[in-house]
Amino acid sequence: MLFPTTHFLLFFLVVAGAVAALEQRFTAKKAVLVIASYYFYAQWDWRFCFLLGFSTALSYLAGRIIGATWDPERRKVVLGIAVGLHLALLGAFKYFDFFVLSANELARSLGLQHELPFIEILLPVGISFFTFHGISYLTDVYRGDVEVCRQPLDMALYMSFFPQLVAGPIVRAAYFLPQLARPSTEPIPIVPALLLILGGLFKKVVIANYLATGLVDPVFAAPTSYGGPDLLLATYAYAVQIYCDFSAYSDMAIALAALLGFRFPANFNQPYRAQRLREFWQRWHISLSTWLRDYLYKPLGGNRGGRLKTYRNLMLTMLLGGLWHGAAWKFIAWGALHGGGLAVERMLEPWLGRRAATPAGRLIATLVVFHFVCLAWIFFRAEDFAVARLFIGGLGSGWGEGLQQAGPFMVALIAIGLAGQFTPDALFDRIAAAFERAPAWGLGAAAGIVVAVINALGPEGVAPFIYFRF
């Protein structure tokens, strides 16, 4: 069940109706939201619900045991077992076949005959996200950064809450569980939430979908059939597509949670305006980058062990970040590029710092970071490593042939997507303020008309969000 569909609209109407009816009964509201979340998840495959339930029970029970134990060794053992089980589940469903394939290829290259069997199981959608929820909860309980969750219902809602269940943002226990302790007394920010939904719909249904079908998919499917200009524009188009696709999902998730009375953290902040690669990661998929910082980079030692160890930690963090996206060498290459880029940037920081002080320096820095990120996106999007190499090899050729695939509409969508990176923060506030005092019927009617327009502009059907597969 995708957000921009009639099915989801009807589902959300029912949920919003139940929440309105249960305004004064917070526990019942949470129970309804858990049921709704499991229904939502079952729309992909009802068997996945057992996995989600197991992950929830594991986190809840291990959290209770860690919280009830004073012996540091025992706490560490329980944490290790629980995190190990979470990772084993993730590994079995997401990475097992990748490691078998790699081992078999290695065995063949060594002349060995025996091959390991594949298990070929369906990847449960969102497994990476709820696994990270469980791990961060347990680690925070172990560190004493969050109180033990004593209510199974709260843990079930934390792990399964449908707006963030399948593609994030990754919401920390310390951020979300306190919201479940008592009902919010804040008013529901209807106008900002509607603006996020409408903006998200436009980004996904119009920009991301047309760029995917009209330019990115055909060019990445056969890069040798196109010249450099089409390849370059397809690269820019993918940068815009993945941003519009993923940030649209995050925006809608944030808005849906807000309409149900919950706060979510920000997940994107105009990433392509970054002047440093490090800054890019402070603006892109913020909930994952901060998760990896706190649960991987810092435990590895962060920047505390001198330069070489910092570079090593950056590289390891980014390599594992790449692997998190999928079991494929292309994602590892993507992570390695970012890890290497961050290390080099850190090495050059004194030199870069002097040059970034001027407007020209800032412009050049933004362009360099954007193009580096685009280069890495080629590995991320290409079918495999070999296609990525062909794609990059083709960028320098065929410049006399002009454009075959990228028409003016595609170029306009790329321009709109990139222009959106440089709008002032205050613009959203001003638009929200303009509708602040509008009555509910007026807001509903206006939103309905805008959705109808976006729906008419979009192609038939909606492609799944890119991050569902992670």
Partner 1 sequence: MVALERELSEPAAPAISADAIPLRLRRQGGTPRQVLATMVIGTIVLALFASRDLASWTERLGDTPAVLAAQKIAAEWDQDMAALGLTRPHEALRDGLRRLLDLRWGSQR
Round to whole Å and give the CA distance between 255 and 192: 8
* 261 lies in the site for partner 1, by CB under 8 A: yes
Work out which of 41, 202, 243, 297 binds partner 1, going by CB under 8 A: 297
> Phi/psi of residue 320, each to 5°?
-70, -35
DSSP state of 147: P
**In the structure encoding, which two tokens stand for residue 301, read together?**
């030692």
- Pick 124 or 322: Cβ nearer partner 1: 322
* 175 lies in the site for partner 1, by CB under 8 A: yes
Identify the burial level of 386 via C-beta atoms within 10 angstroms of its C-beta, where 0-12 means exposed, 13-18 middle and 19 or more buried: exposed
* 325 close to 334: Cβ distance less than 8 angstroms: yes
- Tokens 């760029």 appear where? 211
For every residue of 385-410, DSSP letters joined together read HHHHHHHHHHTTS-TTS--SS--HHH
Work out which of 109, 117, 186, 359 binds partner 1, going by CB under 8 A: 186
Contact positions with partner 1 (CB under 8 A) in 196-235: 196, 210, 214
* 140 lies in the site for partner 1, by CB under 8 A: yes
Among 42-50, 64-72, 113-121, 280-288, the segment contacting partner 1 (CB under 8 A): 280-288
- Pick 301 or 396: Cβ nearer partner 1: 301
- Could you tell me the smallest distance in angstroms from the CB atom of residue 95 to partner 1? 19
- Could you tell me the smallest distance in angstroms from the CB atom of residue 358 to partner 1? 24
417-437 burial code (b ≥16 CB/10 A, e <16): bbebbeeeeeeeeeebeebee
Among 46-54, 102-110, 232-240, 432-440, the segment contacting partner 1 (CB under 8 A): 432-440
* 258 lies in the site for partner 1, by CB under 8 A: yes
* 36 close to 12: Cβ distance less than 8 angstroms: no
- Pick 78 or 193: Cβ nearer partner 1: 193
Contact positions with partner 1 (CB under 8 A) in 39-78: none
**In the structure encoding, which two tokens stand for residue 308, read together?**
């070489």
- Could you tell me the smallest distance in angstroms from the CB atom of residue 116 to partner 1? 31
- Could you tell me the smallest distance in angstroms from the CB atom of residue 429 to partner 1? 7
* 6 lies in the site for partner 1, by CB under 8 A: yes
CB atoms within 10 A of CB 445: 12
* 287 lies in the site for partner 1, by CB under 8 A: yes
* 9 lies in the site for partner 1, by CB under 8 A: yes
- Could you tell me the smallest distance in angstroms from the CB atom of residue 27 to partner 1? 15
Instruction: Identify the three-state secondary structure at position 149.
Output: coil
Of 86, 133, 285, 325, which residue is the catalytic one? 325
* 376 close to 338: Cβ distance less than 8 angstroms: yes
Per the annotation, the verdict on 114 as an active-site residue is no
Site string for partner 1, 238-257 (x = CB under 8 A): ------------x---x---
* 189 lies in the site for partner 1, by CB under 8 A: yes
Contact positions with partner 1 (CB under 8 A) in 96-135: none
Site string for partner 1, 436-455 (x = CB under 8 A): x---xx-xxx-xxx-xxx-x
Give residues with Cβ within 8 angstroms of 407, minimum separation 6: 214
* 431 lies in the site for partner 1, by CB under 8 A: no
Round to whole Å and give the CA distance between 197 and 195: 5
CA 180 centroid distance within chain? 24
Work out which of 190, 212, 337, 387 binds partner 1, going by CB under 8 A: 190
* 303 lies in the site for partner 1, by CB under 8 A: yes
* 398 lies in the site for partner 1, by CB under 8 A: no
- Pick 235 or 250: Cβ nearer partner 1: 250
**In the structure encoding, which two tokens stand for residue 348, read together?**
């050059």
* 353 lies in the site for partner 1, by CB under 8 A: no
* 138 lies in the site for partner 1, by CB under 8 A: no
Round to whole Å and give the CA distance between 460 and 456: 9
CA 75 centroid distance within chain? 31
Round to whole Å and give the CA distance between 367 and 370: 5
> Phi/psi of residue 171, each to 5°?
-100, 125
Contacts with partner 1 by CB under 8 A: the residue count is 91
Work out which of 259, 323, 388, 395 binds partner 1, going by CB under 8 A: 259
Instruction: Identify the three-state secondary structure at position 232.
Output: helix
Amino acid identity, position 240? V
- Pick 333 or 387: Cβ nearer partner 1: 333
**In the structure encoding, which two tokens stand for residue 340, read together?**
């290497």
* 429 lies in the site for partner 1, by CB under 8 A: yes
Residues with active-site annotation = 325
